[in-house]
Amino acid sequence: CVTLGAQATCQVTTVTQELLKEGFHRDLLLKVELGGAREDAGGCAVAARTHLPSGIYVDPYELASLQQHNLTKAVLIPDVVDVEAPDYLAADLLVLLYLNPDPRCSRCFQAALPVHGRYHRPAEETEEALVVLKSPEVLVCCCDNHLSVECWKPAEVEVPCPGKNVSPCQWYSVTRKPAYEESILQVPVGLRQHSSLVCVMTLLVMLLCSSLILAAVCNNRHFS
C-alpha cells in the first residue's frame, strides 16, 4: 500500500524526548520530524516505541481515561501494570505511543504521555535515584500516502495502523537521530540512616490515629 520512490534521499528522522515537571509524576514529551519524505506526510501514522525501565511506569487507569477523552493514544505491553510495586519488584514496560500531526509542520508529529517514578530502596549517601530512559524507536505507517521508504526497514508491530485505509498496512522503522541519546529521571529516595527515625515517627502516628478513632467511637456510644 506504499508507493516506493526510485530516488529517495535517506534523510535522518529527528527525535526529541523531554521529561516535563518535577518529582515522581512527570510528562514524557516526544517530538518527531520525519526525514526521507519529500511529500506531505499528513496521511501517515507515526508512533514511538519506548522501553520504560522498572523505575518508571504508565498508569493504565490514567491512560484509559485519557484515551476515553481522545487526549492520547497508546498501547502498553504488558497491559497489566502493578502501580504499587517498588522499583526492585517491578518489571520493564514497553509503550507504543501514537503521535499527533503538528499543524505547523507537514512532517512533524508529537505527543505527551504521563509517566510516574517508582519508589526505590533507601540509599547510603545520595537522596536521588537515576532512571535512564533511552531514545524511542520511531515507527511509520503510510497506507494513505505516497512516500519514499527505501531507507525505512519493515517492522513487526502487533497493533493496527490507524487511517482511512482499512486494509492491512506495513509499519516501518525509520533511521533516527536523537537530540539526546537518553533522558535521566531523578527520583527522590530516602537515606538509610533515617530508617530508625522514620519507623519511630510512623509508629507514633499510627498510635495517635488509633487513639483518635477510639475516642470518637467512645464519644458516639456515650451520646447514643
DSSP 191: B
Check: CB of residue 187 under 8 Å from CB of residue 206: no
User: Coil, strand or helix: which one is 142?
Assistant: coil
What are 109's strand-pairing partners? 32, 101
The string over 105-119, giving b where at least 16 C-beta atoms fall within 10 Å of a residue's C-beta and e elsewhere, is eebbbbbbbbbbbbb
Alpha-carbon torsion (120, 124, 128, 132), positive or negative: negative
More confident residue, 222 or 181: 181
More confident residue, 215 or 114: 114
Over residues 153-211, the pLDDT tens digits come to 888 877 777 755 555 678 888 877 877 778 888 887 766 566 676 677 788 888 888 88
The pLDDT score that the predictor gives to residue 6 is 33
In the numeric block, the cell 516505541 is attached to 49
As given in the structure block, the three cell numbers for residue 123 are 540509599
Determine the Cα–Cα distance for residues 110 and 126; give it in Å rounded to an integer. 35
Over residues 115-161, the pLDDT tens digits come to 999 988 887 777 788 899 999 999 988 765 555 566 678 888 777 77
More confident residue, 150 or 32: 32
Q: pLDDT confidence of 2, banded at 50, 70, 90?
A: very low
Question: What is the pTM assigned to this prediction?
Answer: 0.76
DSSP 194: G
Amino acid symbol at 207: L
Over residues 36-91, the pLDDT tens digits come to 554 556 677 899 999 999 999 999 999 999 999 988 999 999 889 999 999 999 99
